[in-house]
């Protein structure tokens, strides 16, 4: 009887010790969001791409340079800026100073919360934020590549590759009629 009680006590202590570790595990959506955020930061780190990424963030969320720069001044990458704005956008009133500050306060703690925990606290799912970050990354990538093609001279004035013309089809030669064998002069 004492052994069972001791086992139960040890199991309870183990679970209590393991709870913070289990709570820190990220969901698949949070992992996708982190990956998308890193990709956006990589894209922004390429030559002349920071302005393009900033423009895409401004267009996606309807904010100005001051809003984006204010978040960047808080040592946030472009991916994190996009996540904060995405979460704030879903709150009542949309992207306001108060909503942005609420998201930031949850992120910075105490206790420090992950994006999944913040979304849950606000009653959201992370899927829309993942989609927006990926959309901004893709749009910035396309624009940067279109700019490269225009500068290199490999594309036309529009920045698009010119369509190659296919060679003309040659007419088929007439075939002899089927049915009969050609006559030969001698048999062997």
Query: For the chain, what are the domain ranges?
Result: 27-151
How far apart CA 33 and CA 80 sit, in angstroms, is 10
Q: Could you list the pLDDT tens digit for every one of the 188 residues in the chain?
A: 556 555 544 444 444 443 444 445 788 999 999 999 999 999 999 888 899 999 999 999 999 999 999 999 999 999 999 999 999 999 999 999 999 999 999 999 899 999 999 999 999 999 999 999 999 999 998 988 887 665 544 444 444 444 555 555 555 556 656 665 555 555 55
**pTM given for the model:** 0.66
How far apart CA 85 and CA 63 sit, in angstroms, is 9
Could you tell me which residues come within 8 angstroms of residue 187 by beta carbon, excluding any fewer than 6 positions away? Answer: none
How far apart CA 187 and CA 45 sit, in angstroms, is 83
């Amino acid at each position: 009887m004492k052994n069972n009680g001791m086992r139960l006590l040890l199991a309870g202590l183990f679970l209590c010790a393991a709870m913070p570790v289990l709570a820190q595990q990220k969901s698949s959506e949070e992992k996708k969001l982190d990956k998308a955020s890193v990709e956006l930061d990589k894209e922004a780190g390429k030559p002349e791409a920071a302005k393009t990424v900033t423009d895409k963030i401004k267009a996606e969320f309807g904010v100005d340079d001051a809003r984006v720069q204010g978040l960047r001044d808080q040592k946030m990458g472009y991916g994190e800026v996009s996540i904060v704005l995405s979460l704030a956008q879903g709150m009542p009133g949309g992207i306001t100073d108060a909503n942005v500050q609420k998201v930031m306060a949850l992120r910075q703690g105490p206790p420090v919360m992950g994006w999944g925990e913040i979304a849950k606290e606000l009653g959201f799912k992370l899927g829309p934020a993942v989609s927006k970050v990926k959309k901004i990354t893709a749009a910035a990538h396309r624009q940067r590549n279109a700019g490269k093609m225009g500068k290199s001279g490999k594309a036309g004035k529009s920045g698009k590759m010119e369509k190659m013309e296919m060679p003309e089809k040659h007419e088929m030669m007439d075939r002899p009629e089927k049915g009969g064998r050609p006559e030969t002069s001698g048999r062997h």
